Structure 1
Amino acid sequence: MSDFALLLTHDVDRPYKTYQSLFYATRERPAYHLRTLLSRENPYWQFEDIVELERELGVRSSFYFLDEPSLLRTGSLTDLFDPSNWVEHFGRYDITSDELVDLIQDLDDGGWEVGMHGSFRSCDDIDRLYTEKRELESVLGHEILGGRQHHLKLGDRTWEFHREIGLKYDASPGSSTEFGFSHGYQPFRPFGDEFVVFPLTLMEVALPDPGVSFDAAWSECERLLVEAEANDAVMTVLWHPRYFNEDEFPGYRRLYRRLVEWALERGAWVGPVADYYRAFLEDAESTHDGVVATEW
């Protein structure tokens, strides 16, 4: 089996398009965005299409679900008057709603990983992290292995908190504006034990817009894939579910398919982070090449 791996992840930030329609309508295609606001259409609910695409390719992926606390319940007066906090608040969703429960359980039953997308302030709050982990596990009916922090936000003790509440891995280190192997070619163990960190190689929004220049976007993807194959790297990519909506984000679905097909054709291990962890890293005595105790 190839040591080159492509790990597929999806951060479920906003599964419903709500207030975003008004903002986008002021910038482009107002008729389209206002229609999505006024109708029952929800262009950000792309889960069935993602599952169908990945099933067709013979792969699975990781979905990280966000359990953002209500600003009205937890925010200070300062927080309440900060407009950026209201953007987060209005975009909240409830993982215990019937629609989300059905989605989460269906993904899990089908072999997709369900993990935690730690809320914006949770990186410095072990109690909040524990609450979010417990609530997601109550929906799933079993423990989760790991996840990624919202906005990739890490504090000085976030990994320590992750380990203390029972998570086995984190996939947060990375960037929304840059891509590459800036944190090395392999996942690493910051504490020298079974807790593993998987750096994020590529987030879709950092690429040239494939709807404007698909070839330019694919060129960057291919360059990363070639580098990963040459170095037996573990390459982790993030595609937010809403970017599979071709009407609003043309080119991204096609780009994702091509990325996966390229890796499969080269014999790469392709799948969710949890499966890779179980297959190669769960045994604390494992000495899989490149996975070493280190500090970030």
Structure 2
Amino acid sequence: MLKKVEQNRDLWELFTKKEEYNAALLDKYGRFPYYLSRQRNVFEPEVSEFLLKNGLNPEYPEGKKFAVCLTHDIDFVYIDTLNTAARTVKALKRGQFAEASMLPFSRINKTWNPLWNFRRIMDLEEKYGAKSTFYFLTLDPGNEDFTFSIEELEGELGYILEEGWEVGLHGGHEAYNNLIEIKKKKQKLEKVLGEKVMGYRNHYLRFKTPETWELLADAGFSYDSTFGYHDCAGFRNGMCHPFKPYNLKTGKEINILELPLTIMDTTLFQSQMRLDFEHAWALTEMLILTVERCRGVLTVLWHNTYMQGEYLVFYKKLLQHCSEKGAWMAPGIQICNWWKEEYDSQG
């Protein structure tokens, strides 16, 4: 089917992201941002629409209309001292005396810690018939952004797996461009987990096209879910379906599946978009409708740090809306395995 896309030069260059190869301008994290792209139609999955017109016909389990890949990047599991003090003061001002008394001791009693919330997230998703993927950092002391040791979470990781959710690797700052680092962090997570880790997303969405895909394939991952713009929601290469990337340098497909990232919480509310809740929901609803129309996969990243206040209300609204639309809401590895079967059957 890719042969048909290859015959359309504009779509082929969009699909392969030719403009990102050896890009001269990148941001301070080595990322290719949307604002530097020639692509101006990021909210329309042009390549997926072309594929649908040319024979792609995905049918999801149990007759579901489209799929939603729910994911959470776990960068923090503790509140730092300053944030704990600030939260305690706010709780006192609101008259929430029980919360105010628990916060200072949240490192001792994990159930009082608002960021040790994996089971609460799972309970919420279960109400809507959904399951998700948790991507965990496995940094070492001294690594940039080190805040916790993965060994501390062994019990939680086991619980997540036992209940049918997925544990994936959240690669640190340098992993996207370093095979040794990727393998080291993967092995560290697998040692704690006691199982192979098949799913990946890089910290800060750091990514180098097409090299990062090649490194992840060499490291033994089944799929990646990093490929989305950090500064704009939408469809980075015109795809709202999983795809095998194509390396223009080698002229070959890369042996890994990409579940392209569509929506990230910090992209909507921070980054360059800085939307209020009303406009963020209008955009989210439009993207859901677009993916539904294309019978595609909507990949959502909602950090565990955003599972509170109005951000939590927003996430609940997203779950309810997708549930009412009959979406298949599943972890990345389930979608990956299903798509590979479907892809093979359709050639």
Q: Which letter does structure 2 place at the counterpart of 1:114?
A: V
Larger radius of gyration: 2
Which of 168, 172, 185 matches 2:222?
168
User: Which residue in the other structure is 1:279 paired with?
Assistant: 338
Q: Distance in 1 between matches of 2:220 and 2:324?
A: 36
Residues 13-24 of structure 1: pairs in structure 2 closer than 5 A: 13-19=75-81, 21=83
Q: Please state how far the C-alpha of 1:282 moved relative to its aligned partner.
A: 5.1
Give the secondary structure class of the aligned counterpart of 1:237.
Answer: strand
TM-score, normalization by structure 2: 0.68
Matched, 1:255 2:309: no
Change (3 A) 1:194 1:125: closer
Indicate conservation of the 8 Å contact 2:217/2:255, yes or no.
Answer: no
Matched, 1:57 2:110: no
Cα shift readout 1:123-169 (whole Å, capped 9, x = no counterpart): 12111111111111112221121110011111352211111111011
Q: Distance in 1 between matches of 2:319 and 2:202?
A: 24
Which of 15, 22, 43 matches 2:114?
43
Aligned residues: 260
TM-score, normalization by structure 1: 0.79
Matched, 1:199 2:260: yes
Q: Distance in 2 between matches of 1:176 and 1:18?
A: 25
Cα shift readout 1:37-73 (whole Å, capped 9, x = no counterpart): 74435222221210110112121100001012322xx
Q: Over the residues paired in the alignment, what is the CA RMSD in angstroms?
A: 2.6
Q: Please state how far the C-alpha of 1:208 moved relative to its aligned partner.
A: 4.5
Structure 1: unaligned runs, 5 residues or longer: 75-84, 289-296
Q: Distance in 2 between matches of 1:269 and 1:284?
A: 18
Give the secondary structure class of the aligned counterpart of 1:96.
Answer: helix
Cα shift readout 1:232-260 (whole Å, capped 9, x = no counterpart): 22110000012112xxxx22222212212
Q: Please state how far the C-alpha of 1:230 moved relative to its aligned partner.
A: 1.4
Change (3 A) 1:240 1:185: same
Change (3 A) 1:178 1:278: same
Structure 2: unaligned runs, 5 residues or longer: 1-62, 93-99, 107-111, 247-252
Q: Which letter does structure 1 place at the counterpart of 2:242?
A: P
Matched, 1:186 2:241: yes
Indicate conservation of the 8 Å contact 1:18/1:37, yes or no.
Answer: no
Indicate conservation of the 8 Å contact 1:228/1:234, yes or no.
Answer: yes
Matched, 1:270 2:333: no
Which of 171, 183, 187 matches 1:130?
183
Indicate conservation of the 8 Å contact 1:170/1:197, yes or no.
Answer: yes
Give the secondary structure class of the aligned counterpart of 1:14.
Answer: coil
Indicate conservation of the 8 Å contact 2:65/2:326, yes or no.
Answer: no
Q: Distance in 1 between matches of 2:183 and 2:156?
A: 22
Q: Please state how far the C-alpha of 1:268 moved relative to its aligned partner.
A: 1.8
* Percent identity over paired residues: 32
Q: Distance in 1 between matches of 2:175 and 2:298?
A: 26
Q: Distance in 2 between matches of 1:283 and 1:218?
A: 31
